[in-house]
Amino acid sequence: MKTIEDLQVAGQRVFVRADLNVPLSGGEITDDGRIRAVAPTIAKLVQAGAKVVVASHLGRPKGEPDPQFSLAPVAVRLGEILGVPVAFATDTVGESAKATVAALADGEVTLLENLRFNAGETAKDDAERGAFADELAALADLYVGDGFGAVHRKHASVYDLPARLPHAVGDLIATEVGVLKRLTEEVARPYVVVLGGSKVSDKVGVIDNLLGKADRILIGGGMAFTFLAAQGHEVGTSLLQKDQIPTVLEYLERAKANGVEFVIPVDAVVSGGFPDLKTKAPVEDRRVVDADKIPADTLGLDIGPKSGELFASKIADAATVFWNGPMGVFEHPAFADGTKAVAAALLDSDAFTVVGGGDSAAAVRILGFDETKFGHISTGGGASLEYLEGKTLPGLDALEG
Ligand code: ADP
Ligand code: MG
């Protein structure tokens, strides 16, 4: 792969595919980690005298403009972080984008509106995606791929556009891939993987590949309840994917055969309903129960304190830890203890620690941990998981050669 240093960027229009998909609440950015992560790449191009055209998706709009997913607040924040003004184009390939790019002087930056306001970005049809990539290509001379969180997507700006322009890999993706290599090739052992969060079906898949690689797999968050149910326990109204139970049972069998230790929660924090994440009102009926005694009319919203201690003990002597997915609904203080316990255990260990996943990365910062104390906080959840699954990532493939 070529790097930015291999391109002649001075005076050229350089398209930077970034991942600026940050969490927003009422138009406010609640975690700017992804903006800060790609800022050094943009700053480097500014320094080198490029005309920088930044583009990203945000959320999941339906292929047409939708104000709630506008990147406008991100342009402001990016400008603050870079310390230079960032011109904002109110469309992606239309009149505003063309005029804004044409007005760029060397060393200036523009951010285009949300790529997914155009159906061509995510189209399954190659021709439709290609047509949109052609329009994007007309805005630039060179392409830098640095949106790590999107490299597992076969999208126009990720996959088709680099084929149309001289291209290089950005510094963020280069760093992220370097870290993932440390998790797949010559891994320092014991290698402990902690999985949680809510996207159960997305995450069950990675276990398949990890069964041949990790020494211990700790399961918390929503997917823990599918494991508990597989062992015949009542899980009340907790997140549960019944159709995954046979897969989970097969994993447990294979783990035994491969000498991989599976650790699932021994207790859980439950309540009669999902907490109000806006008001964060106290949860009167919050209680801790053993994992085999979850009342049928409650749902599990965090791992319990005994599980937190158990997980910490399994992390303490690790040499490598990969963590993806919060242990509970950390957005509410009543259900953040399990996630805090795991974050603290990572910091207490001497391991090379990697945190992946948008919400997991946001969680460690929002819960007050010093992000610089972790080995690496990845900007990509799905992308990291698919890499660890051993899949080919379209956005990395496109940057080869
Ligand atoms: P990441 O973005 O780090 O990959 P996910 O998107 O998979 O993580 O999951 C994050 C979400 O999982 C958080 O919003 C959290 O509230 C939710 N979550 C964690 N544990 C549970 C649970 N037991 N029940 C429901 N949601 C959960
Ligand atoms: Mg998430």
* pLDDT at res. 397: 97
Query: pLDDT grade, residue 381 (50/70/90)?
Result: confident
Q: Looking at 89-93, 350-354, 378-382, which range is the least confident one?
A: 378-382
* pLDDT at res. 92: 98
> How far is the C-alpha of 273 from the C-alpha of 58, rounded, in Å?
30
Assigned token pair, 283:
């949860």
SS (H, E, C) 31-98: CCHHHHHHHHHHHHHHHCCCEEEEECCCCCCCCCCCHHHCCHHHHHHHHHHHCCCEEECCCCCCHHHH
Please check the confidence at residue 60 and state whether its pLDDT lies above 80: yes
- Asked if residue 374 lies in contact with residue 355, where contact means CB atoms within 8 angstroms, the answer is yes
**Best substitution site from 34, 198, 332, 377 to test ligand 1's pocket, by max atoms within 8 Å of Cβ?**
198
The catalytic residue positions are 34, 199, 358, 382
Residue 346 bridge partners (DSSP)? none
Strands (E), 185-241: 191-195, 216-219
The terminus-to-terminus CA distance of the chain in angstroms comes to: 6
Strands (E), 209-345: 216-219, 261-263, 267-271, 287-290, 299-303, 320-324
* pLDDT at res. 94: 98
Query: pLDDT grade, residue 190 (50/70/90)?
Result: very high
* pLDDT at res. 321: 98
How many C-alpha atoms does 308 have within 13 Å on its Cβ side? Answer: 20
Ligand 2 (single-atom ion) residues, CB below 5 Å:
358-359
| Global confidence as pTM | 0.89
Please check the confidence at residue 215 and state whether its pLDDT lies above 80: yes
Nearest ligand for residue 363 CA: 1
> How do residues 311-322 score in pLDDT, each as one tens digit?
999 999 999 999
Please check the confidence at residue 201 and state whether its pLDDT lies above 90: no
Residues 6+ apart with CB under 8 A from 33: 22, 361, 362, 365, 371, 377, 379
> How do residues 152-179 score in pLDDT, each as one tens digit?
999 999 999 999 999 999 999 999 999 9
Distance of CA 399 to the CA centre of its chain: 20
Assigned token pair, 257:
């055969």
**Residue-by-residue DSSP string for 239-255:** ---GGGHHHHHHHHHHH
Q: Looking at 183-187, 345-349, 395-399, which range is the least confident one?
A: 183-187
The residue contributing the CA closest to ligand 1 atom 15 is: 329
> How do residues 64-122 score in pLDDT, each as one tens digit?
999 999 999 999 999 999 999 999 999 999 999 999 999 999 999 999 999 999 999 99
Q: Give the number of other Cβ atoms within 10 Å of residue 163's Cβ.
A: 13
pLDDT above 70 covers a percentage of the chain that reads: 100
Q: Pick from 309, 314, 359, 353: which is nearest to 217 by CA?
A: 314
Q: At 219, phi and psi to the nearest 5?
A: -115, 120
Cα 111 to Cα 54, 88, 333: the distances in Å are 5, 5, 36
Measure 218 CA to ligand 1 centroid, in angstroms. 15
Please check the confidence at residue 401 and state whether its pLDDT lies above 80: no
> How do residues 2-46 score in pLDDT, each as one tens digit?
999 999 999 999 999 999 999 898 889 988 999 999 999 999 999
* pLDDT at res. 205: 82
* pLDDT at res. 212: 86
The residue contributing the CA closest to ligand 1 atom 5 is: 197
* pLDDT at res. 151: 97
Q: Looking at 152-156, 332-336, 347-351, 377-381, which range is the least confident one?
A: 377-381
- For residues 163 and 382, the model is more confident at 163
> To the nearest whole number, what is the mean pLDDT of the chain?
96
- Indicate left, alpha or beta for 282 from its phi (over 0: left) and psi (-120 to 50: alpha): beta
Query: pLDDT grade, residue 59 (50/70/90)?
Result: very high
Residues with CB under 6 A from ligand 1: 196-199, 221-222, 239, 300-301, 324-326, 328-329, 331, 357-360, 381
